[in-house]
Amino acid sequence: MKLKLSVLMALFLPIFAFAEDKLDSGDTAWMMISTALVLLMTPAGLALFYGGMTRSKNVLNTYAMVMGAFVVAFLVWIIAGYSIAFGTNESAMLQNVFGGFGNVMLDGIKWTDLSGTYPMFVFIAFQGTFAAITVAIASGSVIGRMKFSTWMVIVVLWGLLVYAPITHMVWGGEGAYLFDAGALDFAGGTVVHMNGGLAGLVLAILIGRRSGYPKTAMKPYSILFTAVGAALLWFGWYGFNGGSAFGANAIAGLAVMTTTIATSAAAVTWMLLEWFIFKKPTLLGIASGIIAGLVAITPAAGFVGVGGAFAIGIVGSVIAFFGVIKLKKIFGYDDSLDAFGIHFLAGLWGALATAFFALNDQALLWDGPLKESGDRMGQFMVQLESVAIVGTWTLVGTVIVYYIASALTGGARVDEETEHNGLDENIHGETVTNA
């Protein structure tokens, strides 16, 4: 019996040491839950949010665009996206924007490896859900007129050429350009929301407006679906922002609180704006305000306090409201489900506002002008540089990806008959009802 016990201890001692000395079960549990929460945001939350706003003949296509984007983008992330975003490049110059191919198919990463106090595989999966939702956000701008085949090619190419390099520049660690510059982005204001929202606008402009827009009324299929989607997104966002503290710690608690404050303030603001301007507060407006607040607080969630959360949520909602109600009409672009108006504009505001509302607390801040010298204007200039570089990379990269995908699929836009009859039946052979 003693011999058997000693053999077992010898066999499992490395695992026991790994568990006791380094792995934190609380952090691991929180990061696994956060990963599941962020996953819920895309094929459930975002798909319902977008699906409810589209016309009945395109509901299933809308859901397929989002769900398809998630599953394809996540695999692309595992195959090469993670390596480009978080790998190490031997060339110092290339390391500024590109992590290399050293971890393709997660080569060189063992299941026992840690990212801080939890498994590296959990970190990779967590970041993969971010990659997936970012490109899914962009789908909202081209609903009702893009080929599903073209969209799938865009998801693959965009994840490698646009999302992964931007992620590397902002979050890639020492040697990555914007990380070294001291840009603050707690959970993805630039990486996710500005990136996905601007990509959506670029795609919408390139593919052209929907037939009949803006003269033809395009009534949403179900505002209730959209409201439920917004609620699920809010629920999942606690993993999105709280999980970006990378542990079950006080910063995660701060992020959860600021997320709730900013989101509530933004929803109330949108409701009051509609009440004052249009005399009727709508459920769609409240849902839109919720998303605007969530987006706006994302880059600042782990850096700001209560007052900052209120300010970021309220102003973010006003800016997004203007983008959705006025800006689209002024410039005439057809951003079908307002990915640009909400995600890009609110994300831009949140990224810049972080410089002014971040608490001057050494325990919270990343290296940068604010932490090193308390220089808020210096930090603002870094934030401005960050949004400019991300915006430029997204703009150029999305144009390139669109034309490659269009060439590979014989054009990006569906034919007139398909657009008129609806993409659900013509592309997928399905309808949302049996009628």
> How far lies 365's CA from each of 64, 173, 193, 301, 355, in Å?
39, 15, 21, 12, 11
- Token code pair at residue 362: 């050494």
Please give the structure tokens belonging to residue 37. Answer: 């929460």
Helices (H), 164-249: 164-171, 177-181, 195-207, 223-242
Average pLDDT over residues 154-183: 96
434 pLDDT tier (thresholds 50, 70, 90): low
Nearest to 254 by CA among 370, 359, 354, 349: 359
Domains of the chain: 25-428 (1.10.3430.10)
Chain segment 417-430, per-residue pLDDT in tens = 999 999 999 999 99
pLDDT for the residue numbered 14: 39
**Which among 86, 192, 190, 185 has a CA at the least distance from the CA of 132?**
192
What does the pLDDT average to over 39-50? Answer: 98
For residue 433, the model assigns a pLDDT of 77
Q: Which stretch of 9-18, 42-51, 97-106, 282-291 has the lowest confidence by average pLDDT?
A: 9-18
The stretch 65-85 carries a mean pLDDT of 98
Q: What is the mean pLDDT of residues 239-267?
A: 98
Instruction: Please determine, for residue 179, whether its predicted confidence score (pLDDT) is greater than 60.
Output: yes
Evaluate if residue 77 carries a pLDDT over 70. yes
Average pLDDT, the chain: 93
Task: Decide: 355 and 370 in contact? Cβ < 8 Å.
Answer: yes
Question: Which pLDDT does position 435 carry in this prediction?
Answer: 45
Structure confidence at residue 94 (pLDDT): 83
How many Cβ atoms sit within 10 Å of the Cβ of residue 119? 21
Cβ pair 74, 129 in contact under 8 A: yes
Integer Cα distance of 398 and 410 in angstroms: 18
* 321 has pLDDT over 80: yes
The mean per-residue pLDDT over the stretch 330-346 comes to: 96
pTM greater than 0.95 (yes/no): no
Average pLDDT, integer, range 337-344: 96
Q: Are 98 and 84 in contact (CB under 8 A)?
A: yes
Q: Dump pLDDT digits (tens) for 16-31.
A: 334 445 899 999 999 9
| pLDDT tens per residue, range 293-303 | 999 999 999 99
Question: Is 79 a residue whose pLDDT tops 50?
Answer: yes
